[in-house]
Amino acid sequence: MNFDDPLIKLAIVLVAGIVGGELVGRIRLPKVTGWIGTGILLRMFDQYLSREHHFDSGLNPANVTAFGPYMNFVLGYIAFTVGAALHFASLKNAGKRIGLLLLCEAIITPSVVFVALRYGGGMEIKSALLLAAIAIAGAPGTTVLVVQEARARGILTRTLVAAVALIDMVAVGAFEFVWAFIRVPGVGVNSLQAGFGNMGVEFGFALIIGFGCAGLALLLTRTLVGPAFVGPTMVAVILGSWGAAAGMGVSGILACTFAGIAVSNLRHATVRSTEAYLHSIGGVLFAAFFTFAGMKLDFSLVLPSLTLVLLFFAARFFGKYAGAFTAMQIAGVTKSVRNFLGLSLLPHGGVAVGLILLVQGDPNLTELSSEVTTIGLAALAINQLLGPSATRFALNRVGESGKARPRLLDFLDEHRITVGIEGKTREDVVRSLARQLCATANLPVDEETFVQQVLTREMAESTCVGHGLMIPHAVIDADSKLEGVLGISPRGLNFKTPDGRPIHAVLLLATPENERERHLEILAAFAHLITHDENLCEQLYHARSAAHAYNVLHADDAEDINYFLDEVMEEVDIAEEAGQERTRN
């Protein structure tokens, strides 16, 4: 019997990873930590059998190479998914803080790492530059997995998921620049031109490939491919983007990220089809992938270079934290997000491994590869084990874990909130908010039709309910989901109101026939907010930003108005069971 078949090896790695993940999950740590740790143990076990018993178990790093296409597909899927999170209409209010975060990541993190390695550890300048660029990279797959496992939702989560793919793109760009820069003799105009040119080529070709594959697939789904095969077509986009990028010698991660961005912004609903299609096998993909990733990390490399490894790890952590803190301070986000975003950026993963392997395989960098590989992979091993727990800890401390469960006001995400709305008339305000709603939601009616329905309802009976609140709305004759946007005016809008108070909050709702009950619950929730909780009401009316308003509505203090729907349904079920029991008795 031959146990050397790749599928048997995959089965062994998969089962071992699943068991390791479940055991670690029982002590309330992220399963990805268990998968990575299992991979490291499998490598150590193989080394022990080979050394002590001269037996080749087949569970060695060579297996990772043998399963290269599998690893590439999962990396491509991760990159596509994270790229799809960059839905520009949804990131309207998050653009400033994400832009500041990327700028600080591009400057502060590599600067801190370079200074620490060069002047604190005495490392050769070229190696320090390469490791400084590699330090920028994060771990989109690990990060997204931890967020999903924690069922997290909130401002830190949105910033983290949206930024993590862009941070990797910054890392690839910085690496390409440094890579070209250090291969040109001397330091001058030629080396700078080579660096920028290499970076431009990498991004340019990756963008063309990603957008080209996505555009072709979307054309097929609109003309030929039926709904049942939208998911498989998007899988082909991932495979085609990675394969074309590999054939042209550019980054497959970048190409798949650009493909995800294109699909998300050209036809956003298609992203959900892809995620739904692969969701059922997501556990298989990730458990084996991260177990294989753990098998690439050799802890025996840590001891000989322990000082530099710890220095690199500490400098990267300090750089990440300082960069995120600085960016969020300038952006004016809440204290909790500012204090914990940097910690959530600690994971270091697939892109970093790929960049290290590029150094390892470049004959022009032979004299640097040993040092960069040893320190980079050893520090990466520490980051991979500690990073997921750090991200989970940050999500818990900010209070965003478990918030992805359905809630009454889920439709009021950050990009559905505008602070500082203005308008001389109620029609001006309604049109402004309707424009925002149609840009961020797929309404079954066109904008002008919806506006006219709202204004007709408003003329028949004003929706200014007093206490600074106005709730214009229209009932849509369609079977869809309730959508809405919230406009806030700290100064107040001087409209005619029952109590003479200016309007500070305008909640515009598009309610389908099948959501009338939820519509009434939302009206009751806001009425409760403005009449029974003056503190929350004042915080909402004078919110500094959309993120601040989001936090007010979705914070634990607002549970009475923005409750978890599953808990309410559970209470209803319990009440009904109790009633039935009383009837029987």
CATH number at residue 539: 3.40.930.10
* Domain limit, last residue, from 363, 398, 433: 398
Q: Which residues of the chain have pLDDT under 70?
A: 1-4, 53-65, 90-93, 183-195, 272-273, 275-276, 278-280, 297-302, 350, 357, 361, 404-408, 555-585
pTM of the model: 0.68
Rounded to whole angstroms, the Cα distance separating 52 from 48 reads 6
Give the residue among 241, 257, 287, 302 at the shortest CA–CA distance from 138: 257
Are 272 and 329 in the same domain? yes
List of residues 6+ apart from 174 with CB closer than 8 A: 106, 110, 133, 136
Q: CA dihedral in degrees (558, 560, 564, 569; nearest 10)? A: 180
The pLDDT, as a whole number, for residue 569 is: 42
Rounded to whole angstroms, the maximal C-alpha distance in the chain is 92
List the structure tokens of 213. 């594959």
Write out the residue range of the structural domain in which residue 44 sits: 13-398
Q: Token pair 């042209």 is at which residue? A: 248
Are 311 and 428 in the same domain? no
Residue 256 belongs to some domain of the structure: yes
Residue 554 belongs to some domain of the structure: yes
Give the residue among 455, 466, 476 at the shortest CA–CA distance from 526: 466
The pLDDT, as a whole number, for residue 97 is: 84
Contact 520, 442 (CB under 8 A): no
DSSP 45-108: HHHHHHHHH----S-STHHHHHTHHHHHHHHHHHHHHHHHT--TTTTGGGHHHHHHHHHHHHHH
Are 305 and 244 in the same domain? yes
The pLDDT, as a whole number, for residue 4 is: 66
Are 349 and 468 in the same domain? no
* Domain limit, last residue, from 370, 398, 426: 398
Give the residue among 182, 172, 177, 175 at the shortest CA–CA distance from 195: 177
The pLDDT, as a whole number, for residue 188 is: 47
Contact 555, 562 (CB under 8 A): no
Residue 145 belongs to some domain of the structure: yes
* Domain limit, last residue, from 344, 366, 398: 398
Are 340 and 450 in the same domain? no
Rounded to whole angstroms, the Cα distance separating 455 from 435 reads 14
CA quadruple 229, 235, 238, 242: dihedral sign: negative
Give the residue among 573, 542, 548, 529 at the shortest CA–CA distance from 408: 529
What is the count of structural domains for the chain? 2
Are 70 and 186 in the same domain? yes
Are 393 and 419 in the same domain? no
**Dihedrals phi, psi of 491, to nearest 5 degrees:** -75, -30
Are 393 and 440 in the same domain? no
Contact 164, 138 (CB under 8 A): yes
Give the number of C-alpha atoms closer than 13 A to the C-alpha of residue 347, restricted to the C-beta side.
32
Give the residue among 387, 205, 202 at the shortest CA–CA distance from 293: 387
Residue 409 belongs to some domain of the structure: no
List the structure tokens of 523. 């009206």
Q: Locate the DSSP E strands across 358-472.
A: 417-419, 464-466, 469-470
Residue 2 belongs to some domain of the structure: no
Backbone dihedral region of 247: left (phi > 0), alpha (psi from -120 to 50 degrees) or beta? alpha
Give the residue among 134, 94, 87 at the shortest CA–CA distance from 110: 134
Quickly count: other Cβ atoms within 10 Å of residue 222's Cβ: 10
Residue 264 belongs to some domain of the structure: yes
The pLDDT, as a whole number, for residue 297 is: 67
The total number of residues shown for the chain amounts to 585
Are 430 and 394 in the same domain? no
Strand, coil or helix: 267: coil
Are 441 and 536 in the same domain? yes
Contact 523, 517 (CB under 8 A): no
The pLDDT, as a whole number, for residue 571 is: 43
The pLDDT, as a whole number, for residue 77 is: 84
Rounded to whole angstroms, the Cα distance separating 313 from 367 reads 22
Are 130 and 270 in the same domain? yes
Are 35 and 166 in the same domain? yes
The pLDDT, as a whole number, for residue 439 is: 82
Contact 508, 426 (CB under 8 A): no
Residue 406 belongs to some domain of the structure: no
Residue 6 belongs to some domain of the structure: no
Domain CATH number, residue 105:
1.20.1530.20
List the structure tokens of 196. 């920028």
Measured CA to CA in angstroms, residue 356 lies from 59, 373, 561 at distances of 22, 6, 50
